[in-house]
Amino acid sequence: MAADAPAVSAQAGFVEAQAERVGEGEPAGPDAARRAASAAVHTVDLTRRFGPLVADDHVSLDVGAGEIFGLIGPNGAGKTTMIKMLATLLPPTAGRAWVAGFDIVAQPHRVRRRIGYLPQMISTDGTLTGYENLLLSAQLYNIPRRERAQRIHDALVRAKIEDAAGRQVGHYSGGMVRSLEIAQATLHRPAVLFADEPTVGLDPVAYLAVWAHLLDLRDQGMTILVTTHNMEEADEHCDRVAVMHTGRVAVVGSPAELKAQVGAAATLNDVFIHFTGAVLEQGGEFREILRTRRVARRLS
Ligand SMILES: Nc1ncnc2c1ncn2[C@@H]1O[C@H](COP(=O)(O)OP(=O)(O)OP(=O)(O)O)[C@@H](O)[C@H]1O
Ligand SMILES: [Mg+2]
C-alpha cells in the first residue's frame, strides 16, 4: 500500500499519514492516541540530555496541521536540539514524540519521508549550481526519475531563482541560498517543514522573499515549525509560539494571547523577557554564538 510511496503533495502527504497510521508506536490511552494522530507534531515529556546538561526537559507540545509554529527562546534554550529530535537526527533521552502521526523512535523512516529539514547551518553545496543541488535532493528523496525535471522546475519557480538555476551557488546572494535550501528541503513535498533560523543574517529584501516562499508552502498545506531570535518575525508570521527557556517550555500561545498576558502595550520582545527572565549571562555558549555569526556572515 501507499505506506512507502512519497507523498504527492503536502496536504495529501499529511492526509496519507492520517489514513495509514498503524498501531505500532501508538501512545497509551485514547485521548493521547487522538492527539498524536491529529497533530502535525505531538510531544510528551520529550527530553534530551548531553551528559549532565538537560538541553530539553520534559517538553510537551502540540503543533496543529497547517500551522506556522514558532520556537523562541535565548541561545542554548534547546530549540535546535528539539528540532533535531523531531527530525529523527538525534535520539531523545526520554519522552515520546509523533510527527505527521508517526513515532520518531519507533517509525523514523516514515517520519523522514514526511518532513523537510532546513538546518541552522548552511546545507547547500556552493560548488554546484542551484539545479545540481536540487537534483541531489531529488535523488536523496527518491523522487521518480520521470518526475524530477518538472519537480525541480516547479521548486525553482516557487523559490523565484529559476533564472539562476545554472549558476554556481557560491555566487548566489544570501536570500537566494536560503530560498534554494528551502526548495531542497521541500522538493519531496513534506507534510512538516522544520526551519531552524531560516532568516538569520538576511537583508530586508531577502527576508521578505524567504517569507513569501514559506507562506506559499504553508498555503499548499505544509505545517512549518520555525525558530527565530527576531520577535517581530515571530509576531508577524507565527500562528502560535512556544517560549523556551533552559530546556523547558515557559508558555505557549498566539502572539496576541501572549502579549495580552504580559501587558496592554506589550510587544513580543516584552513577552520574551517576561517568560525567560532573560539576562545577558544566560544564553548560549561562545561557540554557538560564533556559529550563528558565521552563518549570518556567509549569507550576507
Ligand atoms: N552535541 C552536543 N553536545 C553537548 N551539548 C550540546 C550539544 N548540542 C547542544 N548542546 C547543548 O544543549 C543546549 C541547547 O542547545 P541548542 O542548540 O538546542 O539551543 P538553541 O536554543 O538552538 O540555541 P541558539 O538560539 O543559540 O541556536 C546548549 O547548552 C548546548 O550547548
Ligand atoms: Mg539553535
Q: What are phi and psi of 212, to 5 degrees?
A: -60, -40
Give residue-wise pLDDT tens across range 30-65. Answer: 676 776 778 999 999 999 999 999 999 999 999 999
Query: Which ligand is closest to the CA of 90, given by its number?
Result: 1
The answer to whether residue 2 scores a pLDDT higher than 60 is no
pLDDT tens digits for range 105-119? 999 999 999 999 998
pTM of the model: 0.86
Q: Which residue owns the Cα nearest ligand 1 atom 8?
A: 81
Ligand 1, atom 16: closest residue by C-alpha: 78
**Per-residue pLDDT tens digits for 72-92:** 999 999 999 999 999 999 999
> pLDDT of 123-159, one tens digit each?
899 999 999 999 999 999 999 999 999 999 999 999 9
Instruction: Scan for cell 520556537, then name that residue.
Output: 71
pLDDT digits (tens, 9 = 90+) for 20-29: 443 445 566 6
Residue 4 region, left (φ>0) first, then alpha (ψ -120 to 50), else beta? alpha
Domains and CATH numbers, the chain: 53-90+119-299 (3.40.50.300)
Q: Which residue's C-alpha comes closest to atom 24 of ligand 1?
A: 75
Phi (first) and psi of residue 61, to 5 degrees = -145, 150
> Where does ligand 1 bind, in terms of residues with CB under 6 Å?
50, 53, 55, 73, 75-81, 120, 284-285, 288, 292
Nearest ligand atom owner, CA of 81: 1
